[in-house]
Structure 1
Amino acid sequence: MSTAPHGRAPWFVQLHDRLAVAVDHKIGWQNLPKPLGLLTLVGLRDNLRRKNLFDTGSYPSCNLPEVGPPDARDLTGRTADGTYNDLANPRMGMSRSRFGRNVPPEHAFPEPEPDLLSPSPREVSRALLTRHAFVPAESVNALVAAWLQFMIKDWVSHGQGTMDRPWHIDLADDDPWPAPPMVIPRTIPDPTRPDGDDGLPPTFLNDNSPWWDASQLYGNNLDEQRALRTGQGGRLRVPNGPLFPDDPDKDPAGIPGFWLGLAMMHMVFLLEHNAICDTLHDAYPTWSDEELFQRARLITAALIAKIHTVEWTPAVISHPTTVTAMHANWYGLLGERLHKLFGRLSRSEVLSGIVGGHTDHFGVPYSLTEEFVAVYRMHPLIPDDWSFRSAADDSLLQEATFRELTGRQAYDILGKHTLTDLIYSFGTSHPGLVTLHNYPRFLQEFRRPDGKLMDLGAVDILRSREVGVPRYNEFRRRLHLLPAQDFDALTDNPVWADELRRVYGGDIERVDLSVGMFAEPRPQGFAFSDTAFRIFVLMASRRLNSDRFLTTDYTPQVYTQTGLDWIENNSMSSVLLRHFPELRASLRSVDNAFAPWTAAGPR
């Protein structure tokens, strides 16, 4: 059980951190001039690094999966399962390792029943999440929602749950749910924890490798990876329809969460990987299929990390201070221009960025955390109703509900329209704002591929409670934020305050984390809450800091100079235009591909 100090921080660092927290409480980082706001965010991040990283891997363990012996190839390439990123601790960040925590162990226990089920997750969903009218996030386009799901599939998964002792949710008399009670699978217990009460909170396994390694494209083990490759020129299979038409058990459409937006992102980056392979082959014509594949994987994963850091995140939290801060994570405060001209000018991550610097776990082995998963539950981004239009002239091609975009039905849409038109349609429409009363109605009545009906709004609420993520006010305290004193202080919407008071029986301490985050006022330019942002401040940089392939091994010797140039000279816009040049007219109107595009006119 450890937190993150490199030893005791120097007195002036501790003083800066204390001042940052005090100024944030008194004024708010978002209300400061940009230079002072950036200094405050640096202090907040340092404070979180020292106090909010907890290693669950140190808890008692048994039945750990085997780790193969080291191989010389592990020095310069990512393994299929995430092992050997840290050569001194090969298990760190491997698939099927534990989620970490951002709150101390004593605050990570789930509440005992019946408190855990109170108030009813279903009633919270019905009363506070139900979308009566779509509220758009007008500063971004719907590619934001597709991209987020694409990232989640890389980073985290608790699996599909188990029906061994499922949760039973009692329903109100007026609830239209077809078959009471509502039955929700439990999160799969951690098979690597020995039986017996060791006095520590429960742990759960992450089915995915939490590294930024594009495992959603390449698989989480060697068998998956081999099945996805062509075996020639390093290339990946690009499907025309289902990825595994002859093996439905491998079809990603059979896994809950598969939808059109996710399929589109997969297609784009399968094409991008193959384009990188072709470029590497031209530069290194004697390289084998394996060498081309491994280098192209490194380059593709780093390009995805860059797009998320300097394009997606600044689009969804477009406050001027956070836009600069996210660019500084990659390039440093000295900026992109100096970075491209001279490379790293300083060892400081603040001045020259994290990428290409030294690897740092801040005293705690790398993992993604249960709190990270909780704040990334952003289903309100999904609209219920979709229009697909022609990139040539904006003419209407089809209207569809979100339900028609999910599961295997996504293949029908992909077969009916070109990817150019589908991407254009996403780029010229808005996602939803992450707020109360904006949860997709089709996800409150979601039928899984196995036929089970689920209210994902209720599931989201229950999952955070089940794994011991604190409720809203306690979460804020653990993240060094002031708690809401009452419902009127939590939200600036008096109608919502009354609804919250009624659902939670007047007890502000019972408000669930996601409900509180959806209700609170957002900083300028934010599509989600400032409370969620605190986990981003900590974990967005940690995904870069801990990964040697984005720090000490971000070099020409590992990536090739061709690979580094590809990463540095490309963006989401250039990726889209490489494969879909017909989008040029619409993309010309934006600096960031996740901002709303101009609709095409008649030609």
Structure 2
Amino acid sequence: GGCSIFFDTDSGITFEVQRYDGWYNNLAYHRRGTTGAPLVRVLPARYSDGAYQPLQEPQLPNPRRISNVAMSGKSGFLSYRNQTVLSSFFGYHVVLEIVESRRPGCPPEYMHIPVSPNDPVFGNNSTEQVLLPFQRAQWDHETGQSPNNPRTQVNHVTAWIDGSSIYGSSSSWCDALRMFQRGLLSSGSDQDMPKKSDSSYLMWSTPDPSTGQTGSEGLYEFGNAWANENIFTVAEGIIWFRYHNYLASRLYKEHPSWSDEELFQNARKRVIATFQVERKVLCYQKYVDPGISSEFQAAAIRFGLTLVPPGVYMRNRTCHYRSVVNSDGSTSPALRLCNSFWNRNNTNLKSGQDVDDLIMGMASQIAEREDNIIVEDLRGCYCFLVALGIRGDPRYPEHHIP
């Protein structure tokens, strides 16, 4: 697609630089695939009033009950395709590259999910009603006004594979990540680790939704707002951060006279190309809307969740599996998945070498089978259910798929 940012001769850049927000990639329909564009629909919306009121019980079955019946089962069955754990988390990173519609709506609207008293995780075996809190997602406020214009949720990132999960979905977001020296992204005290936020203000980092830590202090600064969700997505973000700085440093040695902007944009262009090659991106068709559909958004992540194991190994540079430290100071042979969400100071991911060990461990481990079973560490982990942004069970159809 076409791009639209031009630099004057002072910048030294002689090529068009792709925008961060996805605008004008499609020269015929400028807004398609942009940050803030509404999700597209393949099938008609299903609201109880045709416009915006959600379908709930008894029109639809209880989502937690569906989860317990259809998605529970024994773990430990290996991927049919020999997919690794690293590939499954890379796939999750790619999903976050093209769709993010989990921000809560304003004004807030709730559809709390009733939980059976004998639920194996959230039940309390009493007469007191238990609810999984569920907040509806943000929507395009120009929709939801009539059955002819039903409510449509918003995608807060670009639908293009354009590196927005690495550089952010706006120029100001990217500026906040940059060092503005030698084309580099800002690093922390360790050069191969990104900078951690020291601000209490939330700009682009999603906070811990279940622990009460609402500030952004201690969160790594990434282009992906949800990269701090668990240590596996953190490791993915760090790898791409390192790759950009590696390319920028190499370009600086080859072209010491280049400006910071030349170094940064040339490195960025190469990173995006590498990311696209990894996903085997095809040419975009002018008249095909690249926007993400509600149907895809509702299904894509859920299929990927079936690949995620309940524990993930770490492996050091001599290829030996290493012990991990638990929150109580004890050690285990692997990282328990349910303990790896929203942990700002995880003992097992402090240094660049820890990142290497985790990536090596994920690359050495076969993922779970491609089936209907989601391990208990995800189905029963409240931190994860809240992290999905729907503040409840991940199977609940906010997007109203028929």
Aligned counterpart, 1:461: 395
Aligned counterpart, 1:164: 108
Aligned counterpart, 2:96: 153
Q: 1:266 aligns with which of 237, 244, 250?
A: 237
SS at match of 2:371: coil
After superposition, the Cα gap between the structure-2 partners of 1:117 and 1:252, relative to the gap in structure 1 and judged at 3 Å, is farther
AA in 1 matched with 2:354: T
Residues 458-506 of structure 1 deviation map (CA, whole Å, 9 limit, x = unaligned): 63221xx331323xxxxxxxxxxxxxxxxxxxxxxxxxxxxxxxxxxxx
Residues 378-400 of structure 1 deviation map (CA, whole Å, 9 limit, x = unaligned): 21222112332323041432232
After superposition, the Cα gap between the structure-2 partners of 1:201 and 1:171, relative to the gap in structure 1 and judged at 3 Å, is same
Report percent identity of matched pairs: 19
Q: 1:100 aligns with which of 16, 40, 59?
A: 40
After superposition, the Cα gap between the structure-2 partners of 1:408 and 1:76, relative to the gap in structure 1 and judged at 3 Å, is same
- After TM superposition, the structure 1 = structure 2 runs for residues 393-432 of structure 1, keeping only pairs within 5 Å, are 393-398=319-324, 399=332, 400-409=335-344, 411-415=346-350, 418-432=354-368
- Answer whether contact 2:39 2:155 (CA < 8 A) is retained: yes
After superposition, the Cα gap between the structure-2 partners of 1:115 and 1:251, relative to the gap in structure 1 and judged at 3 Å, is closer
**Shift in Å at residue 303 of structure 1?**
0.7
Using the alignment, how far apart are the partners of 1:278 and 1:270 within structure 2?
A: 12
AA in 2 matched with 1:184: F
Aligned counterpart, 2:218: none
AA in 1 matched with 2:112: H
TM-score by length of 2: 0.76
- After TM superposition, the structure 1 = structure 2 runs for residues 119-130 of structure 1, keeping only pairs within 5 Å, are 119-130=61-72
Aligned counterpart, 1:83: 23
After superposition, the Cα gap between the structure-2 partners of 1:457 and 1:187, relative to the gap in structure 1 and judged at 3 Å, is closer
- Answer whether contact 2:37 2:156 (CA < 8 A) is retained: yes
**Shift in Å at residue 130 of structure 1?**
2.3
After superposition, the Cα gap between the structure-2 partners of 1:281 and 1:395, relative to the gap in structure 1 and judged at 3 Å, is closer
**Shift in Å at residue 140 of structure 1?**
1.8
**Shift in Å at residue 448 of structure 1?**
6.2
| 1:370 and 2:274 correspond | no
Using the alignment, how far apart are the partners of 2:384 and 2:154 within structure 1?
A: 22
Using the alignment, how far apart are the partners of 1:455 and 1:265 within structure 2?
A: 20
- Answer whether contact 2:157 2:164 (CA < 8 A) is retained: yes
- Answer whether contact 1:142 1:430 (CA < 8 A) is retained: yes
- After TM superposition, the structure 1 = structure 2 runs for residues 555-570 of structure 1, keeping only pairs within 5 Å, are none
SS at match of 2:270: helix
Aligned counterpart, 1:144: 87
Using the alignment, how far apart are the partners of 1:413 and 1:253 within structure 2?
A: 22
| 1:173 and 2:117 correspond | yes
SS at match of 2:110: strand
| 1:232 and 2:184 correspond | no
**Shift in Å at residue 212 of structure 1?**
0.7
**Shift in Å at residue 205 of structure 1?**
0.8
- Answer whether contact 2:187 2:194 (CA < 8 A) is retained: no
Using the alignment, how far apart are the partners of 2:261 and 2:194 within structure 1?
A: 25
Aligned counterpart, 1:538: none
Higher relative contact order, chain-length normalized (CA < 8 Å, sep 6+): 2
TM-score by length of 1: 0.52
Q: Can you give the 5+ residue segments of structure 1 that lack an aligned partner in the other structure? A: 1-69, 310-329, 331-353, 471-603
AA in 1 matched with 2:114: D
- After TM superposition, the structure 1 = structure 2 runs for residues 55-454 of structure 1, keeping only pairs within 5 Å, are 71-73=5-7, 76-103=16-43, 107-110=44-47, 113-114=55-56, 118-137=60-79, 139-162=82-105, 164-175=108-119, 176-177=121-122, 180-193=130-143, 196-197=145-146, 199-239=148-188, 240=190, 243-248=195-200, 249=202, 252=205, 254=207, 258-309=229-280, 354=282, 360-361=285-286, 363-377=287-301, 378-398=304-324, 399=332, 400-409=335-344, 411-415=346-350, 418-447=354-383
Using the alignment, how far apart are the partners of 2:247 and 2:355 within structure 1?
A: 20
Using the alignment, how far apart are the partners of 2:389 and 2:258 within structure 1?
A: 50
- Answer whether contact 2:186 2:194 (CA < 8 A) is retained: no
After superposition, the Cα gap between the structure-2 partners of 1:171 and 1:419, relative to the gap in structure 1 and judged at 3 Å, is closer
After superposition, the Cα gap between the structure-2 partners of 1:82 and 1:180, relative to the gap in structure 1 and judged at 3 Å, is same
**Shift in Å at residue 443 of structure 1?**
4.3
Query: Counting helix residues as a fraction of each chain, which structure ranks higher?
Result: 1
Using the alignment, how far apart are the partners of 1:424 and 1:99 within structure 2?
A: 36
After superposition, the Cα gap between the structure-2 partners of 1:203 and 1:388, relative to the gap in structure 1 and judged at 3 Å, is same
**Shift in Å at residue 429 of structure 1?**
1.1
Residues 500-557 of structure 1 deviation map (CA, whole Å, 9 limit, x = unaligned): xxxxxxxxxxxxxxxxxxxxxxxxxxxxxxxxxxxxxxxxxxxxxxxxxxxxxxxxxx
After superposition, the Cα gap between the structure-2 partners of 1:235 and 1:149, relative to the gap in structure 1 and judged at 3 Å, is same
Residues 114-166 of structure 1 deviation map (CA, whole Å, 9 limit, x = unaligned): 45762100101112212433333261211012201211221101133248231
Using the alignment, how far apart are the partners of 2:261 and 2:317 within structure 1?
A: 37
- Answer whether contact 2:104 2:390 (CA < 8 A) is retained: no
**Shift in Å at residue 216 of structure 1?**
1.1
SS at match of 2:133: strand
Aligned counterpart, 1:496: none
Using the alignment, how far apart are the partners of 1:168 and 1:263 within structure 2?
A: 30
Using the alignment, how far apart are the partners of 1:453 and 1:229 within structure 2?
A: 27
**Shift in Å at residue 255 of structure 1?**
5.5
Using the alignment, how far apart are the partners of 1:364 and 1:80 within structure 2?
A: 21
- Answer whether contact 2:307 2:369 (CA < 8 A) is retained: yes
After superposition, the Cα gap between the structure-2 partners of 1:260 and 1:251, relative to the gap in structure 1 and judged at 3 Å, is farther
Residues 282-319 of structure 1 deviation map (CA, whole Å, 9 limit, x = unaligned): 4444322112212221221121111122xxxxxxxxxx
- Answer whether contact 2:133 2:392 (CA < 8 A) is retained: no
**Shift in Å at residue 207 of structure 1?**
0.4
Give the total of aligned pairs. Answer: 347
AA in 2 matched with 1:100: V
AA in 2 matched with 1:125: S
Q: Can you give the 5+ residue segments of structure 2 that lack an aligned partner in the other structure? A: 8-13, 49-53, 210-225, 325-331
Using the alignment, how far apart are the partners of 2:355 and 2:5 within structure 1?
A: 40
Using the alignment, how far apart are the partners of 1:117 and 1:215 within structure 2?
A: 39
Using the alignment, how far apart are the partners of 1:134 and 1:403 within structure 2?
A: 16
After superposition, the Cα gap between the structure-2 partners of 1:393 and 1:168, relative to the gap in structure 1 and judged at 3 Å, is closer
AA in 1 matched with 2:207: G
- Answer whether contact 1:439 1:457 (CA < 8 A) is retained: no
SS at match of 1:421: helix
Using the alignment, how far apart are the partners of 2:381 and 2:37 within structure 1?
A: 32
